[in-house]
Amino acid sequence: MLVYEYVNNGNLEQWLHGAMCQHGILTWEARMKVILGTAKALAYLHEAIEPKVVHRDIKSSNILIDNEFNAKVSDFGLAKLLGSGESHITTRVMGTFGYVAPEYANSGLLNEKSDIYSFGVLLLEAITGRDPVDYARPVNEVNLVEWLKMMVGTSKAEEVVDPGLEVKPTTRVLKHTLLAALRCVDPDADKRPKMSQVVRMLEADEYPIHEARRNRKSRTASMEIEAMKEITGQTDPENMSRDPEGHISETTHA
């Protein structure tokens, strides 16, 4: 028998798209607190225990939120254990459409990098307020990851923020957060960061930039723009093409 802490403040999906919206739009700060808490939970599951735990169904409806907007990762019904001597396991493809890593969807080979991809989608969902897959949108906007890469590749990164946010993040914070997300959804699983590295990237934006670092901040922002374009593989509209692994039609739906 499992006994869970009672959490009565809904989940991230409800706050972004559903019933909890009646209480107001979730602020950027609250979203990032939930996201950072989720990242820390995954870092623990992947790196602090043996065998490591691959959740296999990271999505916004599985991130419960308490009254202080702390994240609680829930629903371990699909989770798998991965021993220290195992680089991956082969298993039936399970998960939720839009969140599943392309290499897992295509081969059934599973490791913690699959969770990291799902987390990247979750982070993009929090940034944009969009569902991972939304067929009500124009065809080139249906898949969140593909659309985001297109926007970044055409220098429209600042247009991706949830329009419902009253106070939007600074340009630097947005680009830094987008860079973290894009690294997580890299189609090459080996290039995705560890969750502990993602935690450090996200924590870097919790603290103010001191006067002595302002010039470095400007240089960092420029480097992040170039890094995002390199990750997306897009520098102008003519170079864009649809990533065949970006939209995974073989996976299960929620």
Contacts of 250 (CB under 8 A, 6+ apart): 93, 105, 106
Write out the chain in H/E/C secondary structure.
CCCCCCCCCCEHHHHHHCHHHHHCCCCHHHHHHHHHHHHHHHHHHHHCCCCEEECCCCCHHHEEECCCCCEEECCCCCCEEECCCCCCEECCCCCCCCCCCHHHHHHCEECHHHHHHHHHHHHHHHHHCCCCECCCCCHHHCEHHHHHHHHHHCCCHHHCCCCCCCCCCCHHHHHHHHHHHHHHCCCCHHHCCCHHHHHHHHHHHHCCCCHHHHHHHHHHHHHHHHHHHHHHCCCCHHHCCCCCCCCCCCCCCC
Residue 215: both structure tokens together? 């010039």
Quick check: is 186 catalytic?
no
Q: Catalytic pick from 57, 115, 186, 205?
A: 57
Residue 37: both structure tokens together? 């808490």
Catalytic residue annotation: 57
